[in-house]
Amino acid sequence: MSATIDDALVQGDPIAVEQLIADVLCRAHATAEAVNAPDEARAILQVAHSFADELATTNPRFDRMRFIDAATRDPS
């Protein structure tokens, strides 16, 4: 993880917050895939889209596709 929750929130850095959220979602998504739980993996993808919706309202330059990719990428 590139930042801790405290670091991201205290600094008020939107990029750090986005990355922190994407990292958490990515770990959860990878875990769901590793245990062959496609329903859970899809649910995490839906959560990633929900976060992307919210983040896009606070930052007009938010890169939705980059965020979704970071939240669901294969860590290998």
What backbone torsions phi and psi does residue 4 show, to the nearest 5 degrees?
Answer: -90, 165
Residue 62 has pLDDT above 80, yes or no: yes
Residue 54 has pLDDT above 80, yes or no: yes
Question: What does the angle CA 6 – CA 55 – CA 18 come to, to the nearest 5 degrees?
Answer: 40
Of the candidates 38, 44, 10, 53, the one whose C-alpha atom is nearest the C-alpha of residue 24 is 44
Report how far Cα 45 is from the mean position of its chain's Cα atoms: 9
How high is the mean pLDDT of the chain? 87
Report how far Cα 1 is from the mean position of its chain's Cα atoms: 11
Q: Which helix (H) or strand (E) holds 4?
A: none
pTM of the model: 0.81
In tens, the pLDDT along 12-42 reads 778 888 998 999 999 999 999 999 999 999 9
Token pair for 28: 């959860």
Domain extent, residue 33, equals 5-72
Q: How many domains does the chain fold into?
A: 1
